[in-house]
Amino acid sequence: MTVTPQKLVERLKSRAERYIALHLRYEKDMLSFTGCTHGLTNTESEELKIMRESTNHWKIKNINSTEQRVGGFCPLTPKEVGIFLEALGYPSSTLIYIAAGEIYGGDTHLSELRSHFPNIVFKEMLATEQELKSFLNHASQTAALDYIISIESDVFIPSHSGNMARTVEGHRRFLGHRKTITPDRKGLVELLDKMEAGLLEESSLSRHVKQLHKDRRGAPRRRGGAPLGIKGRARLRLEESFYQNPYPECICKSEDALK
């Protein structure tokens, strides 16, 4: 018997009235591709480097991890996600569904999130092996499970931008601007590094994080365009994706909220 996404959502709702879907892009291929090694051991960093160098279609081989992180181009680490959610005011009892593939380093790194939010579940914890059998070895189908569960969540939070994160955000906007919190990774890293260096009081972190994200919670807004004067393919690359924000074309009921 194959489980349906709706059944998994029901099982999540039976555990808690509300849940967060966290698209945790802390996966080996993502970390290797982006060159992000913050918080990893030397052995892990070397493993990612070897993977990047041996993957022919990845053109950029030499990447400065520190520059990537400071520039906001790295996925948030499990530890950073835990601090982020805590600063936003979510209680430790919050139910979090991890919408992602295998987390790099497994429990070693995931424990850094669990120390803040122990109530973490994966699809494998919501369904039996037999129910998930038909999805095995079909990455697109397992991703579809995560996609639908993310659409139906009370809050969706992506730890990194990407096709799925942008499309889920757009779909949730289409369904009535369901709450989606997109982390300001560059701003967060700056705050966390200041706190680590003793330049920011831990007691004031929550205030700074909330201020940084007051306009990043999925509220109605028009799709961002490219800078003035940019035309052609450059314009298409720089303007916000329709799939990320389908207003104004496909959200007629949002007009009053935008006035």
Mean pLDDT by 10 residues, the chain (259 residues): 90 96 97 97 97 96 97 97 98 97 94 97 94 86 94 97 94 94 98 96 97 94 82 76 86 50
Contacts of 139-146 with CB under 8 Å at 24 or more apart are: 139/101, 142/101, 144/5, 145/5, 145/8, 146/21, 146/23, 146/99, 146/100
- Euclidean distance between CA atoms 9 and 21, whole angstroms: 11
* Number of folded domains that form the chain: 1
Q: What angle do CA 221, 222, 223 make, to 5 degrees?
A: 120
Dihedral of CA atoms 205, 208, 214, 218 in degrees, nearest 10, equals -50
As a whole number of angstroms, the distance between CA 145 and CA 4 comes to: 8
Whole-angstrom CA distances from 169 to 13, 88, 157, 221 are: 21, 19, 9, 13
Taking the C-alpha atoms of residue 210 and residue 89, their distance in angstroms, rounded to an integer, is 9
Q: What is the pTM for the complete model shown?
A: 0.91
Residue 202 belongs to domain spanning: 5-258
> Alpha carbon 63 to chain centroid distance?
22
| pLDDT the model gives residue 256 | 44
- Residue 177: enclosing H or E segment and its boundaries? none
DSSP state of 223: P
Q: What is the pLDDT of residue 258?
A: 43
- Tell me how far CA of residue 211 lies from CA of 153, 217, 258, in angstroms: 24, 12, 21
The SS3 call for residue 112 is helix
- The one-character DSSP state at 127 is S
The widest CA-to-CA distance across the chain, in whole angstroms, is 56
Return the pLDDT at 28.
97
Identify the pLDDT of residue 206: 98
Q: Cα torsion at 68, 70, 76, 80 (round to 10°)?
A: 150
Residue-level pLDDT at 252: 62
**What's the confidence (pLDDT) of residue 85?**
98
